[in-house]
């Protein structure tokens, strides 16, 4: 089981991110670890050390998890297991307690009206993150792509009726619980607000175990809209609590990555870390 020194893990991610960005730009020749290390600004031995510290695996296993064959094996396993982890939409697989709020079409009040939201910026294994909570649970989790102001603007636009207070001390316990790699904690409470269809899609997402992936078409079937793949993709992308509601576990059926609001490189990184952690649990 991996455990994280979050500040160190966030610094390591900066190196991992540069390496993955190079890999994605050179898919035609599948660059080796030496090339990834150079692109990340470290030597090969340093890159090996960073990968082991960040993911608990060696660079050979790191590269193997990036292969199209690995993705296809995960998707095949997902197709075989779909009946088990999508069996009951009212029983999320992850240890999460969810407070749902359904917004009806044409609702006149802004989302979050009357709510007090406390937020903080924190280092994570996927870079700097913005975490926010209400008295009911985590209501926002996003990852830095441009700057902190962009994250704040997106959160304010989503919870436009709420009052906000920055207090990292009040969110630190949650960030530790989410990313410390342990399954021994109490369920992480979530506070989600969306349409009935969004809620069906998001509940299907939390049923996908860490280390597994599914496809947009399978998710559409499980949400009762088997032809609405584009609508499902939109609902996935509108999820306000990334990682905990794991939109990063949805890929295209041909093995391509698909989109991800917080960056395709980060989506690959999450897959690598979760499959590595799932392997350590199994061992």
Give catalytic residues, as residue numbers.
247
CA–CA dist 137, 187 (Å, integer): 10
How many Cβ atoms sit within 10 Å of the Cβ of residue 28?
6
**Taking Cα atoms as reference points, which of 93, 180, 157, 167 lies closest to residue 134?**
167
Per the CB < 8 A criterion, the answer to whether 263 and 22 are in contact is no
The three-state DSSP-derived secondary structure of the chain is CCCCCHHHHHHHHHHHHHHHHHHHHCCCCCCCHHHHHHHHCCCHHHHHHHHHHHHCCCHHHHHHCCCHHHHHHHHHHHHHHHHHHCCCCCCCCCCEEEEEEECCCCCCCCCCCCCEEEEEEEEEECEEEEEEEECCEEEEEEECCCCHHHHHHHHHHHCCCCEEEECHHHHHHHHHHHHCCCCCCCCEEEEEEECHHHHHHHHHHCCCCCCCCEEHHHHHHHCCCCCCHHHHHHHHHCCCECCCCCHHHEECCCCCCCCCCCCHHHHHHHHHHHHHHHHHHHC
How many Cβ atoms sit within 10 Å of the Cβ of residue 73?
12
């Amino acid at each position: 089981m991996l455990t994280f020194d979050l500040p160190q893990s966030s610094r390591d991610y900066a190196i991992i991110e540069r390496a993955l960005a190079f890999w994605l730009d050179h898919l035609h020749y599948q660059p080796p670890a030496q090339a990834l290390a150079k692109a990340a600004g470290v030597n090969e031995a340093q890159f090996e050390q960073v990968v082991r510290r960040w993911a608990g695996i060696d660079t050979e296993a790191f590269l193997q998890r990036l292969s199209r064959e690995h993705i296809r094996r995960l998707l095949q396993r997902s197709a075989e297991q779909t009946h088990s982890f999508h069996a009951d939409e009212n029983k999320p697989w992850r240890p999460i307690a969810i407070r749902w709020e359904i917004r009806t079409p044409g609702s006149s009040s802004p989302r979050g009206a009357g709510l007090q939201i406390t937020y903080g910026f924190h280092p994570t294994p996927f870079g700097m993150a913005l975490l926010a909570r209400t008295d009911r649970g985590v209501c926002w989790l996003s990852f830095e792509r441009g700057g902190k102001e962009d994250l704040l603007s997106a959160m304010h636009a989503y919870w436009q009726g709420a009052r906000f207070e920055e207090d990292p001390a009040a969110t630190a316990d949650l960030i530790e619980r989410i990313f410390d790699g342990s399954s021994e904690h109490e369920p992480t409470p979530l506070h989600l607000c969306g349409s009935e269809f969004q809620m069906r899609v998001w509940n299907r997402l939390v049923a996908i175990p860490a280390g597994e992936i599914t496809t947009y078409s399978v998710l559409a079937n499980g949400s009762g809209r088997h032809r609405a793949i584009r609508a499902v993709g939109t609902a996935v992308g509108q999820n306000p609590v990334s990682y905990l509601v794991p939109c990063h576990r949805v890929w295209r059926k041909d093995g391509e990555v698909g989109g991800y609001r917080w960056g395709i490189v980060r989506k690959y990184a999450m897959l690598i870390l979760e499959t590595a952690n799932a392997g350590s649990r199994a061992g």
